[in-house]
Amino acid sequence: MSDTLRNPVIVGGNRTPFAKSGTAYAAASTQQLLTAALDGLVARYGLAGEKIDEVAAGAVMKHSKDFNLTRESVLGTALDPHTPAVDLTQACATSLEAVIYLSNKIRLGQATTAIAGGVDSTSDAPIAVSEGLRKVLLQLSRERTTQGKFKALAKLRPQHLVPSPPSSGEPRTGKSMGASQAVTTEAWGISREAQDEVAYNSHQRLAKAWDSGFFDDLVTPFNGLTRDNVLRPETTLEKLASLKPVFGNTMTAGNSTALTDGAATVLLAEEDTARARGWQPLARFVDAQVAAVDFVEGNPRTDGLLMAPAYAIPELLERNGLTPQDFEIFEFHEAFAGTVLSHLKALEAQGITIPTERINPDGSSLAAGHPFAATGARIVASLAKRLHEKGPGTRGMVSICAAGGQGVVAILEAVS
């Protein structure tokens, strides 16, 4: 094993258009979505029949049959079936963590080519049986006599037949992500107008990026959809202002992310390997930091459910000897408009001011949608392309909050 660290780079990406839950992908499974995103990447970079060193991806909402989702998706693609795969999950930060995991493997010489990704579908959400029915069925399976089976079935009650859909509440608090963010939004005194402006800008900027052809080599149509259908370029501040709050007093459907279906992937490689294959590296993976907050007992201003990036960013900047002025682009995942604005206020309280004109220049999750595990890969691929356009040495930061009071941030830098 060599002591020399390699240079992991982002070569490119591919995703499906993102679809609002219950629309274009209502009948598609998470496996079909991830397979489609992978196959689009394979086609774009001529990987058919090739063995990739590893594919790492995941989903937040998985059926029990999808215990090996990424590997099964790989086997459905044109990749060599000898390509290994692993499922990773860290809520909304899943595919960013997959990028970090594989980049570190490349850095250590354990891989030269890899694919990171993520997928989610609220249209294909798993619905479980009730706990009461589950226990009866388990006992029934253990019984060996007819009498024993009847005794097990005799414990069944009408309420046991009610299914258990996925819960949006945090197990520790019972609060949904929106309800949790509403407390933090109010604690920071963030106005409805400021949130609506973030949402409006997101839609306008994403629409402009689509219209300019920016996504032509980042997205492959799927199931008849060619563009994110959450996107509302026709929206106005007046329309956003007319919506009624759904969380707290200021958070509406317009300044909160919609439930979304979709998948996204990123092609990573060791830089010399990429160049030898004729692939133009877009950006190198520099560093990353994870953090967590005490959202159960902590102050909702600083330890609100989605506030962990405000802890991770200062650590990452300090370790790399950088300031916000050293970055051209900041990609803040827009779980809610209030989330982004809360992070900015929390960072300012620590003496860190992010230039707002450098945040999400191509829009983000409010306009594109947010298939939980896919968002990180979407952002990394788009950011890498933008950084490459701006020239060597240009830096960008990715910041993603996640359920469980966690956050993941990373630095990318354009290469020549």
Select from 221, 264, 233 the least CA-distant residue to 120: 264
Distance from C-alpha of 246 to C-alpha of 337, rounded to nearest angstrom:
13
Q: Is 92 part of the annotated catalytic residue set?
A: yes
- Contact (CB, 8 A) for 164 and 129: yes
Distance from C-alpha of 193 to C-alpha of 240, rounded to nearest angstrom:
9
- Contact (CB, 8 A) for 81 and 142: no
Q: Is 401 part of the annotated catalytic residue set?
A: yes
CA dihedral 316, 205, 406, 191 (to 10 degrees): 110
Catalytic pick from 11, 38, 92, 98?
A: 92
C-alpha angle 320/322/326, rounded to 5°? 135
Catalytic pick from 401, 402, 412, 415?
A: 401
A 10 A CB-CB count for 163 gives 9
Q: How far is CA 57 from CA 68, 141, 359, 415, in A?
A: 10, 34, 26, 25
Distance from C-alpha of 272 to C-alpha of 267, rounded to nearest angstrom:
14
Residues recognised as catalytic: 92, 401
